[in-house]
Amino acid sequence: MASEIDRTGTPLVELRDLCKAFGGINAVDHVSIDLYPGEVVGVLGHNGAGKSVLMKMLSGALARDSGEIWVNGEKAEINSPRDARRYQIETIYQYLALADNLDAAQNLFLGREIVTPLGFVDDAKMEAETRKIMGRLTPNFRRYNTPVAGLSGGQRQSVAISRAVYFNAKILIMDEPTAALGVEETRMVAELIDELKKQGIGIFLIDHDIHQVKALCDRASVMKNGQLVGTVEVDKVTEDDLLGMIILGKKPEVAA
């Protein structure tokens, strides 16, 4: 999905020299990466490479030991998920954090329900808003009144992503969005990501699947043992190049 991204302006996000240690072990060791509007940056590496810890510092789920986070050219103070949301950063976790017994609208507004002037939950308004946002992102979605437990993996992803976009996310962190999905479901998620890119939303995509990173991302930042091996444009490297970065920590000649 690599496309021409304008990287001459101000990045949506800059992670500058971030560090995080646990018990003397450097989980993230002086890592710097950035993300531009309409771009998907894959964060790659084996389990324990540090990719999830890095993204949890951006999402506010973990406090950083040192380093800075800049959003839209301004230094950001992110110490909790609530802080991250204030900077229009949302995380779509692999387990999606959906309430299985509730339908799409009830999940989209969970904890942020629309109420009538008399204080009653306005189900009709919430469904109308859900149809509007999901109709824009996933025009083929029809199962608005089905509990999400009865939806496919791709449909559940679309509910979680629509919730983030509805509440004005400009930066999405996606944790292995196509894990355990079939071919058709994976295609659906790819189309959804493409639509988000068109709207100028920036996405950090955590993954260890090289094929998916090649298919979905514009750049890939590879981590090994808590350190950044390098950041590359995916259409300028081979899958073997990426594999060499992950396993050997070897940076290809074309690294950006």
> Using CA atoms, how far apart are residues 71 and 77, in angstroms rounded to an integer?
10
Q: What is the pLDDT of residues 219-244, one digit of tens each?
A: 999 999 999 999 999 999 999 999 99
Structural domains of the chain in order of their starting residue, each with its CATH number: 8-88+170-256 (3.40.50.300), 98-169 (no CATH)
Strands 89-92 and 227-233: unpaired
pLDDT at 7: 84
pLDDT in tens, 9-40: 999 999 999 999 999 899 999 999 999 999 99
Q: Is the pLDDT of residue 1 over 60?
A: no
Task: Return the higher-pLDDT residue of 97 and 249.
Answer: 249
pLDDT in tens, 152-204: 888 888 898 898 888 889 999 998 888 878 888 888 888 889 989 999 999 99
pTM of the model: 0.89
Handedness of CA 39, 43, 44, 47 (dihedral sign): negative
Residue 32 CB contacts under 8 Å (≥ 6 apart), including other chains: 14, 15, 16, 17, 18, 67, 228
Mean pLDDT, residues 66-72: 97
Q: Output the pLDDT for position 3.
A: 56
Alpha carbon of 43 to those of 1, 210, 219, 232: distances in Å? 15, 10, 9, 11
User: Mean pLDDT in the chain?
Assistant: 91
Q: Which residues, at least 6 apart from 37, have a Cβ–Cβ distance to it below 8 Å?
A: 6, 9, 12, 170, 200, 201, 202
For the stretch 79-132, pLDDT in tens is 999 999 999 999 987 666 789 999 999 999 998 899 999 999 999 999 999 999
